[in-house]
């Protein structure tokens, strides 16, 4: 026995035994007894640990089923094929794939809840398109009918405008006709076999007569109502107190000493007009309050403008109706649209087209609306 063993032995020996020991033989005997007891205790503890481990392993197999291995998407090699199912483990099926055993399983709903339905051991072969993990609803793509193309509408061969012309507002000349730039761009391309939707718009003829007056007359009255009369009344409010002296302005002058040149006085009379001046200058008195009241009315007047708009609308309606009849007589599909005529014509027919002589016409590429269809 070396020195370390003696030290460890003496550490566990009671003090009273050491004091009573007379020789080394007694100490050795006590050490052997102590070591024998310790070894027995260690052996018993190891046996308990082994028994506990075995019991835990047996319980886990009994209470927890085996977790099926996740099958990789790669089915090209035999290493990834699913194992053959046994009696205690159902076959692993891929999500989204309905195996052939579904029919037999559906019939099992009438069986006892304690009975296990029979499952065929034949494993469905996974495909590359079938996902291998995750909850994926069964695909219905295979059962969907093929998409059908919509029936072609009567306007599929018609060229419509989309407003993409580089300069829509510009006017070009083509075969003696004034056309918009977007229509000009279309006519530069090969349009054989295609129909072009064109709007023919008449330019206003100011000599068109409506209710006894020309459009030029209505326009002059509307301008006088909108601009001339209000301007004159505003200016008269500033100069009426001086103009009430009449010719004395350039002969003797006003009582305040103001005197005008004769040319200036005559130009003012011509601007206002004797009819207007006689209305607001009576017996040498300037009716300023009456001028202010009439100015307020003139600034809100619309009667002349409404009459002009009505005459213009009548011109467009009558002119478009006459033109549509003339185009239809030439076997050209057309319809009255707004202030013009909507034509459906080929480029060749349009090149030789002549409009009625009662107006100047402007042609532009039509924009398609929901109600615009080819007229049969």
What are the DSSP calls for 266-315, one per residue?
Answer: HHHHHHH-HHHHHHHEETTEE-HHHHHHHHHHHHT--HHHHHHHHHHHHH
The 10 Å CB-count burial string (b at 16+, else e) for 64-79 is eeeeeeebeeebeeee
Note down the domain range covering 40. Answer: 3-63
Judgement on whether residues 366 and 256 belong to the same structural domain of the protein: yes
Query: Do 351 and 239 reside in the same domain of the chain?
Result: yes
Is residue 165 domain-resident? yes
Secondary structure of residue 166 in the 3-state scheme: coil
User: Terminal CA-to-CA distance of the chain, rounded, Å?
Assistant: 126
Residues 57 and 175 in one domain: no
Same domain, 265 and 372: yes
Per-residue pLDDT of the chain (376 residues; tens, 9 = 90+): 555 555 555 555 555 555 444 456 665 666 677 677 777 788 778 778 878 777 777 665 655 555 444 444 444 444 444 444 444 444 544 444 444 444 444 444 444 444 444 444 444 444 444 444 444 444 444 444 333 333 334 456 889 987 655 445 678 888 888 999 999 989 898 888 889 999 999 999 999 999 999 999 999 999 999 999 999 999 999 999 999 999 999 999 999 999 999 999 999 999 999 999 999 999 999 999 999 999 999 999 999 999 999 999 999 999 999 999 999 998 899 999 888 999 999 999 998 888 777 678 999 999 887 455 544 3
Give which of 361, 350, 71 is closest to 203, Cα–Cα: 361
Domain boundary among the residues 12, 39, 63 is at: 63
* C-alpha pair distances (Å), 112 with each of 87, 117, 121: 19, 10, 22
Considering 63, 86, 101, which residue would you say is the last residue of a domain? 63
Up-side HSE of residue 28: CA atoms within 13 Å toward CB?
6
Question: What's the domain count of the chain?
Answer: 2
Q: Is residue 92 part of a domain?
A: no
Q: Which two tokens stand for residue 132?
A: 């291998």
Length of the chain: 376
Examine residue 57 and state whether it is found in any structural domain, yes or no: yes
Check whether residue 197 and residue 317 sit in a common domain.
Answer: yes
Domain match, 265 and 163 both: yes
Does residue 361 lie in a domain region? yes
Q: Does a structural domain hold residue 141?
A: no
Full-model pTM: 0.52
Residue 96 included in any domain: no
Residue 118 phi, psi dihedral angles, 5° rounding: -75, 135
Whether 80 maps to a domain, the answer reads no
Last residue of a domain, one of 47, 63, 79: 63
Check if the beta carbon of residue 30 is closer than 8 Å to that of residue 13: yes
Q: Within this chain, do residues 308 and 189 fall inside the same structural domain, yes or no?
A: yes
Considering the domain boundaries, does residue 182 fall inside one?
Answer: yes
């Amino acid at each position: 026995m070396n020195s370390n063993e003696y030290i460890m032995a003496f550490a566990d020996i009671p003090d009273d035994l050491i004091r009573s020991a007379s020789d080394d033989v007694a100490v050795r005997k006590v050490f052997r007894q102590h070591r024998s007891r310790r070894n027995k205790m260690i052996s018993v503890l190891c046996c308990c640990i082994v028994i506990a481990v075995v019991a835990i392993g047996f319980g886990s197999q009994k209470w927890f089923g085996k977790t099926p291995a996740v099958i990789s998407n790669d089915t090209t090699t035999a290493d990834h094929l699913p194992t053959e199912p046994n009696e205690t483990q159902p076959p692993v099926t891929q999500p989204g794939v309905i195996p052939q055993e579904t029919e037999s399983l559906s019939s099992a709903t009438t069986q006892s809840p304690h009975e296990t339905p029979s499952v065929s051991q034949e494993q469905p072969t996974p495909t590359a398109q079938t996902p291998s993990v995750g909850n994926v609803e069964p695909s219905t793509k295979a059962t969907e009918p093929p998409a059908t193309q919509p029936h072609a509408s009567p306007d599929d061969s018609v060229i419509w405008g989309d407003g993409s012309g580089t300069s829509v507002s510009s006017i070009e000349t083509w075969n003696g006709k004034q056309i918009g730039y977007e229509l000009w761009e279309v006519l530069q391309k090969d349009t054989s076999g295609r129909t072009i939707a064109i709007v023919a718009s008449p330019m206003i003829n100011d000599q068109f007569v409506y209710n006894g007056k020309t459009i030029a007359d209505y326009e002059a009255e509307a301008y006088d109502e909108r601009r001339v009369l209000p301007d004159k009344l505003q200016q008269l409010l500033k100069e009426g107190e001086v103009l009430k002296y009449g010719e004395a302005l350039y002969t003797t002058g006003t009582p305040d000493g103001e005197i005008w040149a004769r040319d200036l006085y005559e130009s003012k009379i011509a601007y206002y007009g004797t009819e207007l001046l006689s209305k607001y200058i009576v017996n040498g008195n300037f009716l300023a309050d009456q001028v202010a009241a009439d100015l307020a009315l003139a600034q809100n007047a619309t009667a002349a403008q409404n009459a002009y708009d009505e005459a213009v609308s009548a011109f467009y309606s009558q002119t478009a109706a006459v033109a549509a009849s003339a185009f239809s007589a030439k076997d050209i599909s057309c319809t009255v649209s707004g202030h013009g005529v909507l034509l459906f014509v080929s480029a060749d027919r349009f090149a030789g087209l002549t409009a009625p002589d009662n107006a100047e016409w402007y042609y532009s590429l039509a924009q398609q609306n929901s109600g615009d269809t080819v007229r049969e």
